[in-house]
Amino acid sequence: MTLTAAAVDLAVDLGPLRLANPVVTAAGTFGTGREAAPTWTRRASARWW
């Protein structure tokens, strides 16, 4: 049976932290969030993560 994308588990345990997926933004490249928000809200699926 073919594996579907929906069945893939992206969650990771980063030490004591449980993250929904392994991707984070790097310090300094995203400001404090507010600066980047306009470009993100123009995204088709407007969500942070």
Partner 1 sequence: MVVKSVTREPRAGRPGPRMVETPAGMLNAIGLQNPGVDAWVARDLPWLVARGVPTIVSIAGSAAADYGAVAARLAGRPGILAIEANVSCPNVEDRGRVFARDPAATGAAVAAAVAAATVPVFVKLTADVTDLAEVAAAAAAAGAAGVTLVNTLLGLAVDVETGRPVLGGGTGGLSGPAIRPVAVRAVAEVARALPGLPIIGAGGARSVADVVEFVMAGATAVAIGTATFTAPTTAADIVDALPGWLAARGHRRITDLRGLALR
- At 27 the three-state DSSP class reads coil
By the rule CB under 8 A, 1 interacts with partner 1: no
Q: Which residues make Cβ contacts (< 8 Å) with residue 12, sequence separation at least 6?
A: 18, 19, 21, 22
- Closest approach of Cβ 1 to partner 1, in Å? 11
- What are the two backbone dihedrals, phi and then psi, of residue 5, each rounded to the nearest 5 degrees? -60, -35
By the rule CB under 8 A, 39 interacts with partner 1: yes
By the rule CB under 8 A, 26 interacts with partner 1: yes
Contacting positions for partner 1 (CB under 8 A): 2-17, 19, 21-34, 36, 39-40, 43, 45, 47-49
